[in-house]
Amino acid sequence: MSLFTYASEESISAGESTFRTVGGYGCIACHGLYGQGGGNVGGNIRGSSLNDLKYSLEHEQTMKLLGDVLSEQDKINLADYMEYLGTFQLVDWMYEGIKGGLLSVSIDSGKNSQLVVLNKTFEPMLIDLSPLSGKHLTLRVDPYETQHFEWLPEKGVYELSFGDEAISINVK
């Protein structure tokens, strides 16, 4: 056996499904659909380990209830999913329709990245992703929905905008 075992796709996708459904509301209720936080009480847990999870299931008042319904295998799968999310650089855009809102983020080139957009308004968002993808691509995010887009960034400054807000992504 090798010293390091890599999470299988099955384990990651089983973890993702538990992350969205456990207890009826899922981990997503407090940690966001992609573990990014999304302004919820639990915050960002991308890249968290099995030990982090076990510790919080025992000590975090709001998570204790879930401890009983998760098998050891469920916890391993959840940890694999959180670690998988942690392999992406996160560009987190929580859209609240703030006038003149400009968000700036800095990431490294050549590393897998994930844009996560949470639409906290009542109008659907249509975001032109061509600056990131190099081809015509629109991301639709319905009211109170979260959507994502993965890409491998190259050096440069990229701006995405919708309505009253813009996000400037500085790739170093």
Q: Which of 12, 14, 33, 78 binds ligand HEC (CB under 6 A)?
A: 78
Piece of the chain touching ligand HEC by CB under 6 A; list 5-13, 47-55, 94-102, 103-111: 47-55
Q: Which of 12, 14, 27, 33 binds ligand HEC (CB under 6 A)?
A: 27
Q: Which of 12, 42, 125, 146 binds ligand HEC (CB under 6 A)?
A: 42
Name the token pair of 41.
Answer: 């009480």
Q: Which of 10, 21, 43, 73 binds ligand HEC (CB under 6 A)?
A: 43
The verdict on 56 binding ligand HEC (CB under 6 A) reads yes
Q: Which residues contact 106 (CB under 8 A, 6 or more apart)?
A: 169, 170, 171, 172
String of DSSP letters for 66-132: HHTT--HHHHHHHHHHHHHHHTSEEEEEEE---TTEEEEEEE-TTS-EEEEEEE-SSS-EEEE-HHH
Q: Which of 12, 66, 125, 160 binds ligand HEC (CB under 6 A)?
A: 66
The verdict on 63 binding ligand HEC (CB under 6 A) reads yes
Q: Which of 10, 52, 58, 108 binds ligand HEC (CB under 6 A)?
A: 52
Give the burial class of 69: count Cβ atoms within 10 A of its Cβ; 0-12 exposed, 13-18 middle, 19 or more buried: exposed
Q: Which of 8, 10, 39, 41 binds ligand HEC (CB under 6 A)?
A: 41
Residue located via tokens 């469920």: 74
Tell me if 84 sits within 8 A of 12, measured CB to CB: yes
The verdict on 87 binding ligand HEC (CB under 6 A) reads no
For ligand HEC, the closer CB: 41 or 102: 41
For ligand HEC, the closer CB: 78 or 160: 78
> How many other CB atoms are there within 10 angstroms of residue 112's CB atom?
11
Residue located via tokens 């992504």: 169
| DSSP conformational letter for 147 | E
Residues binding ligand HEC (CB under 6 A): 22, 27, 29-31, 41-43, 45, 48, 52-53, 56, 60, 62-63, 66, 78
